[in-house]
Amino acid sequence: MAGPIDQQASRKPPARGLRVLLAGRSVAGQVFLLQVVVVLLLVAAAVVELLVQAQHDSRLEVGHRSVAVATAFASAPGVAQALTSPDPSAALQPRAEEARKRSGVDFIVVTDTEGTRYTHPVPDRIGEKFVGDIGPALHGEVVTETVTGTLGPLIQANVPVFDAQGKVVGIVSAGITIAKVSGVVNHMLPILLGSAAVAMALAMGGTWLISRRLLRQTGGLGPLEMTRMYEHHDAVLHAVREGVLIFDGDGRLQLANDEARRLLRLPADSEGRLVGDLGLDERAHELLSSGRTVTDEVLPAGDRLLVLNNRPTDRNGGPPGSVATLRDATELRALSGRAETARTRLRLLYDASVAIGTTLDVTRTAEELAEIAVPRFADYVTVDLAEPVLHGEEPLRPGPAVTMRRVAVNGVRPDPPLGPEGHPVVVEPSSPQAAGLVTGRAVLEPCLPDSPRWQRQDPERNAKIISFGIHSLICAPLSARGVLLGMVNFWRSQETLPFDEEDLSLAEELAARAAVCIDNARRFTREHTMAETLQRSLLPQKLPRLNAIDAAYRYLPAQAGVSGDWFDVLALPGARVALVVGDVVGHGLHAAATMGRLRTAVHNFTALDLPPDELLSHLDELVGRMDQPDALPEADADPDPDPDAASGAGPGGTGAVVSGATCLYAVYDPVSGVCTLARAGHLLPAVVRPDGAVEFPELPQAPPLGLGGMPFTAVELALPEGSTLVLYTDGLVEDRERDVDEGLEQLRGVLAERPGRGPEAICRDVLDAMLPSDPEDDIALLVARTRVLDGDRVAEWDVPGDPAAVSGVRASVARQLAAWGLEELSFTTELLLSELITNAIRYGAEPIHVRLILDRALICEVSDAGSTAPHLRYAATTDEGGRGLFLVAQFAERWGTRYTAQGKVIWAEQALAPVTPPE
């Protein structure tokens, strides 16, 4: 409700003018209104002044432009001559219009000295009298005037035209209408008004902001409200649990609330005293009298700890002095200390989870545990693991009888008497370690000199430990998934505080996290060992001794696990040899098993003596079938099959599929010196010539095995005796730091060094130069140096298709065997050849060819152009024939058939004493 004064004011006659606007408003409101009025007046004056100035400038500029245009036209060549011509309008009107349009004036009028128009923008007005004063122009002057002509009010300039003698022969007038000048000004008016509006808005906005700030500072409160607010603030100041001290610029205490008096034990009459008279200690006196900024400074005050903050008040134009606040931090410091300890331990556990288990190596994982715990938790750490764990196995039984070995030692000093790494650890039944192994919980020995059960275990060594300064121990077992792996010992020495009960949980947590990583590494070690053992068992244990080649090999599994790299050297009939290198995609047991299946398949296909391209075709088909999950017979199909089994994860599937394999297969014939090669997605072989030249012969590329779609093509290479064939897998020439091309060039350089090296030396030099520090893939390397059988070890005869010719061949064979010193084999050899030649004559086709090869066995070969292979059968007692191949099988150690492009070859081998190959 309105008071009496307000009611009287409402009955007063309304005031006028500025007083009406200011009446009843606060100081901030009055200042705002006055500033708005001032801004409006200034903006209005600016707009008027701009309009007047724009009008004046526009007229002045129009006059200047008219003079310029008229002068230019009057001085133009031919204007004076046109005025004296019989028809001045015809000559001048077009030029005047063109000049008018280009110059932007409204008209260009040419008159004679009498004022008659010769040109005009409106042609109908030509010939009429000129509107304006031409007198000054007739006297040679340039005149600018404002007149009302035929186009309306306008501004024009009159310029005389002189002939060659300087006589005025006419007048040129050019000008612009007033309407056009006003249009320019009118066009500028919105811009001027808009600018004025923006300026007024900005000024009013600034005025409003200033008024708002003034209103905030005063709060819009009257004396009563201000008094009430002061009383409230004073009550709060004395009720808070934080001490407040206010000093003036001279260092006198102006105000101290109740909490400040209690914390500092100030006297009752302390206000008005200097800081030095308050009886404070030296540190508090220094901080409070300095007047500088202090943040969270800790002050001792008797049995309490106080946190002091001090801020000067003369910043931002305030009065000189300072304000200090105090709070009791005695209990907070104790809590913060415990919180800091907990935070430090959590940080240690987090760092341990990151730092432990970075590799899948059991020993390295134990070393990481020892490294992370020193010196943040212990001064020394020793890690002992059960012997089977180091080999990827599980301990036979938990308990103190487990044989352990020290695998990691770390400390603040490098020479603790705790036993070196690799030292066997014997646990006494009464020791703390034994108690921890039995219970599976960490055991604390806070004071080793006072622990008889610890000292009973190796007293001499324990005495050295105590004299070294080690005084406290925690033994924490390493156990994961119910498997006891070993023990970690945390030791403290010298100035470090002994372990307490709170440290047990941290030790157990560190041990638990490390145990999981060690167990993962153990399981990986076991699987890796199993895979490596499987793969090595599937690879050749030694190479066969052959006269055709001198071979050496290297196989290195990857650090992360074995894969499917493999190689083989196989003896073929006819003293030939097969060299094969392959790589199965993937790692682990599956890749190793797949490699074994492929190697077995190669052995089987080699027994058929297939050419390289046909052998790869059979392998490709085999791998393609491997990729298909096994299917149950239709009669036994489950009407509700297990989806896991259907996907290959259950009993009905293999659990994994082969995604491809590469292979390079080569057959070398030492008789002809020809090597036949074919590849399926594999890298090119390297051939080192006897002179040291290295080349990678081009072989037709085909997709890896199992992908299908393209045929395989074999290529024949003639290799001089002493050439070296180098087969390898991609792990040798490719890794994350070099691509295949770079690796092949590096291999070329190594092979080109020191010509004449043997295969063993080449293998050693290649691996020394190219083996990565951390192989990511298996490496298989096979090096074979070729030999050529001497001509005196091969004998050949062409046989006519007549059975009567067999006896002559037998005689020639007997003489050749005698020359080789093999007379004891003459009977069986003649018998074998008789049967084979007779079969070729009877069932084959000419030409028929016989070849004897003296190698590590005596090889008899009979070839013909027929494609039908004989087969062994057992004749009845009443049969007159059918026993030929049976006799061959009985007398020969091995026999068989192989097909060639010209037909087939039936061969038989007879064992003989080893023959030393020629040097």
Kindly write down the DSSP assignment for every residue of 346-378, as one continuous string.
HHHHHHHHHHTTSSS-HHHHHHHHHHHHTTTT-
Identify which of 238-242, 558-562, 814-818 has the greatest average pLDDT: 814-818
Identify which of 348-362, 436-450, 657-671, 716-730 has the greatest average pLDDT: 716-730
Quick one: which H or E segment has residue 635?
Answer: none
According to the model, what pLDDT value does residue 10 have? 41
Burial class (CB in 10 A: 0-12, 13-18, 19+), 139: exposed
Mean pLDDT to the nearest integer, 881-886: 58
Identify which of 230-244, 500-514, 583-597, 865-879 has the greatest average pLDDT: 500-514
Contacts of 108 (CB under 8 A, 6+ apart): 69, 70, 73, 96, 97, 99, 100, 119, 172, 173, 174
- Of 707 and 513, more confident: 513
Q: What is the pLDDT of residues 438-487, one digit of tens each?
A: 888 999 999 988 888 888 777 888 888 999 999 999 999 998 887 889 99
For 500-576, where are the E strands, in sequence order?
549-556, 563-571
Q: How would residue 14 be classed by pLDDT, with cut points 50, 70 and 90? A: very low
Do residues 567 and 727 lie in contact, with contact meaning Cβ atoms separated by under 8 Å? yes
Q: Which amino acid is at 568?
A: D
Mean pLDDT to the nearest integer, 109-135: 85
How many Å apart are CA 385 and CA 370, to the nearest integer? 13
CB count, 10 Å around CB of 403? 14
The distance between the two most distant Cα atoms of the chain, rounded to a whole number of Å, is 162
Q: Which amino acid is at 516?
A: V
According to the model, what pLDDT value does residue 337 have? 57
Q: How would residue 879 be classed by pLDDT, with cut points 50, 70 and 90? A: very low
How many Å apart are CA 598 and CA 658, to the nearest integer? 11
According to the model, what pLDDT value does residue 652 have? 34
Q: Which amino acid is at 16?
A: R
Q: Which amino acid is at 579?
A: L
The CA dihedral of 534, 538, 543, 549, to the nearest 10 degrees, is -130
Lowest mean pLDDT among 282-296, 513-527, 809-823, 904-918: 904-918
How many Å apart are CA 698 and CA 855, to the nearest integer? 31
Q: What is the mean pLDDT of the chain?
A: 80
According to the model, what pLDDT value does residue 263 have? 81
What whole-number percentage of the chain has pLDDT above 90?
19
How many Å apart are CA 154 and CA 63, to the nearest integer? 10
- How far are the Cα atoms of 527, 567, 595 from residue 538, in angstroms, in the given order? 16, 10, 8
Question: Is the predicted pLDDT of residue 668 greater than 90, yes or no?
Answer: yes
Question: Is the predicted pLDDT of residue 682 greater than 80, yes or no?
Answer: yes
Q: What is the pLDDT of residues 285-335, one digit of tens each?
A: 888 888 788 887 887 776 677 888 888 888 777 788 888 888 877 666 655
How many Å apart are CA 567 and CA 59, to the nearest integer? 104
According to the model, what pLDDT value does residue 651 have? 33
Q: What is the DSSP letter of 448?
A: G
Q: What is the pLDDT of residues 345-390, one digit of tens each?
A: 889 889 998 999 888 889 999 999 999 999 999 999 999 999 888 8
Residue with token string 């970075």: 358
Strands 152-162 and 143-149, by their bridges, are: antiparallel
What whole-number percentage of the chain has pLDDT above 70?
83
What is the three-class DSSP state of 120? coil
Instruction: Give 4's Cβ-side CA count (13 Å radius).
Output: 0
Lowest mean pLDDT among 189-198, 413-422, 582-591, 648-657: 648-657
Contacts of 417 (CB under 8 A, 6+ apart): 461, 464, 465, 468
Evaluate the CA torsion angle 426, 429, 432, 437 in order and state its sign: positive
Question: Is the predicted pLDDT of residue 26 greater than 80, yes or no?
Answer: no
Nearest-CA neighbor of 744 among 719, 770, 775, 764? Answer: 770
Q: How far is CA 797 from the centre of its chain?
A: 69
How many Å apart are CA 843 and CA 742, to the nearest integer? 56
Quick one: which H or E segment has residue 752?
Answer: helix 740-752
**Tally of helices (H runs) and strands (E runs) in the chain:** 25, 30
Do residues 449 and 465 lie in contact, with contact meaning Cβ atoms separated by under 8 Å? no
How many Å apart are CA 168 and CA 83, to the nearest integer? 11
- How far are the Cα atoms of 776, 783, 828 from residue 858, in angstroms, in the given order? 46, 27, 11
Question: Is the predicted pLDDT of residue 279 greater than 50, yes or no?
Answer: yes
Residue 325 φ/ψ region, left for φ over 0, alpha for ψ in the -120 to 50 degree band, beta for the rest: beta
Q: How far is CA 433 from the centre of its chain?
A: 45
Count, residues in the chain: 919
How many Å apart are CA 833 and CA 851, to the nearest integer? 10
Nearest-CA neighbor of 255 among 229, 273, 232, 230? Answer: 273
Q: How would residue 613 be classed by pLDDT, with cut points 50, 70 and 90? A: very high
Mean pLDDT to the nearest integer, 605-615: 89
pTM of the model: 0.53
Q: Which amino acid is at 306?
A: L
